[in-house]
């Protein structure tokens, strides 16, 4: 039985899709059969981030409606063997996601895959609720910024009350924090919430800190999950986060400003 992971945040634009793509790719790199599903019906973007936008024929909604077989809608990644993408519809709306339909697809996927990564849309409406409903693990993607932290707390409340595990009185969904767009230099200047501040407020374990990095935009430009850019600090931070998710004890990097020598200052090296 595959494990279901939801990437959620409440707030939009914090890096759910970037993190879903990176995380799913990271799990596949570690040898696990992984599928990543786009739950943002009507605003499809995971396909672009994964670089498979030209290969979409059928989608998640087609499968739910019985218009296509799951195997027809799944797109195998060309770079990583164990990785598949299930894109969503660009034309329908979120009402197309029925609980029974989603459950049927997830059940079918969990027979073949070790991990199912659900890329949640922003908000706390149908799409987001469906993405988190069946989850075993939740990764809360948060920026060190007041509105994102507040929305994350809201989503934690929703997970604790409206997920399948909560409704059926099962063991609760595990919750871990992925703090993205972290800028250690601004933190040092007192302009940005510290990792510890966010942890104190949200009170969930830390999965990883992804530094603000130009590599993220570069990777999305070319449709490559940033985790495959192993030279970048963001890519390395995602690799570390995946290792921690798998239970390894990895020290947190990129949380303090990197000391820049004269040479690198002159070269203005970035990322």
Partner 1 sequence: MSIFSFFRSAPRASAVQAKERLQIVMAHERAGRTGPDYLPMLQQELLAVIAKYIDIDQNKVEVKLDRGGDCSTLELNIELPAREAAAKALKESAKLAVAGNRPQPAKDGDESDAVRMSAGGALTNGGVKKRR
Provide the binding-site residues for partner 1, judged by CB under 8 A.
145-146, 149-150, 153-154, 157, 187, 189-194, 197, 200-201
Strands of the sheet containing 174-182, edge to edge, are 75-76, 83-86, 34-38, 115-119, 3-8, 137-142, 174-182, 206-211
> In angstroms, what is the minimal distance from the CB of 149 to partner 1?
6
Beta carbon nearer to partner 1, 157 or 205: 157
> In angstroms, what is the minimal distance from the CB of 247 to partner 1?
30
The overall longest dimension of the chain from CA atoms, in Å, is 62
213 vs 31: CA distance, rounded Å? 27
- Strands 174-182 and 206-211, by their bridges, are parallel
In this structure, are residues 193 and 145 in contact, taking their beta carbons and an 8 Å threshold? yes
Beta carbon nearer to partner 1, 13 or 157: 157
> In angstroms, what is the minimal distance from the CB of 198 to partner 1?
9
What are the φ/ψ torsions at residue 6 (nearest 5 degrees)? -110, 135
Which residue has tokens 């921690």?
244
In this structure, are residues 131 and 121 in contact, taking their beta carbons and an 8 Å threshold? yes
Pair of tokens at residue 238: 């995602």
Beta carbon nearer to partner 1, 68 or 201: 201
> In angstroms, what is the minimal distance from the CB of 193 to partner 1?
5
55 vs 268: CA distance, rounded Å? 38
> In angstroms, what is the minimal distance from the CB of 197 to partner 1?
5
Beta carbon nearer to partner 1, 28 or 149: 149
Beta carbon nearer to partner 1, 109 or 187: 187
> In angstroms, what is the minimal distance from the CB of 154 to partner 1?
7
Which residue has tokens 């494990």?
3
The SS3 call for residue 218 is: helix
Beta carbon nearer to partner 1, 43 or 201: 201
């Amino acid at each position: 039985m595959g494990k279901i992971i939801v990437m959620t945040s409440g707030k939009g634009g914090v890096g759910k899709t970037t993190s879903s793509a990176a995380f799913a790719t990271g799990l596949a790199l570690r040898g696990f059969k992984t599928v990543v599903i786009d739950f943002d019906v009507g605003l499809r973007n995971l396909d672009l981030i994964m670089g498979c936008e030209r290969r979409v024929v059928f989608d998640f909604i087609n499968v739910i409606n019985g218009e296509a077989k799951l195997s027809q809608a799944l797109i195998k990644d060309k770079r990583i063997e164990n990785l598949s993408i299930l894109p969503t519809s660009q034309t329908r709306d979120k009402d197309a996601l029925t609980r029974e339909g989603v459950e049927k697809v997830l059940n079918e996927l969990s027979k073949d895959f070790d991990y199912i990564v659900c890329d949640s849309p922003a908000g706390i409406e149908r799409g987001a609720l469906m993405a988190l409903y069946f989850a075993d693990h939740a990764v809360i993607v948060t920026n060190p910024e007041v509105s994102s932290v507040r929305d994350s707390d809201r989503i934690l409340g929703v997970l604790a009350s409206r997920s399948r595990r909560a409704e059926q009185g099962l063991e609760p969904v595990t919750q871990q924090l992925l703090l993205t767009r972290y800028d250690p230099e601004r933190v040092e200047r007192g302009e940005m919430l510290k990792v510890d501040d966010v942890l104190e407020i949200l009170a969930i374990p830390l999965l990883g800190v992804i530094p603000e990095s130009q590599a993220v935009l570069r990777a999305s430009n070319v449709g490559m999950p940033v985790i495959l850019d192993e030279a970048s600090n963001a890519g390395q931070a995602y690799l570390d986060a995946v290792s921690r998710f798998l239970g390894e004890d990895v020290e947190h990097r990129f949380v303090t400003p990197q000391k820049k020598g004269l040479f690198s200052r002159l070269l203005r090296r970035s990322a």
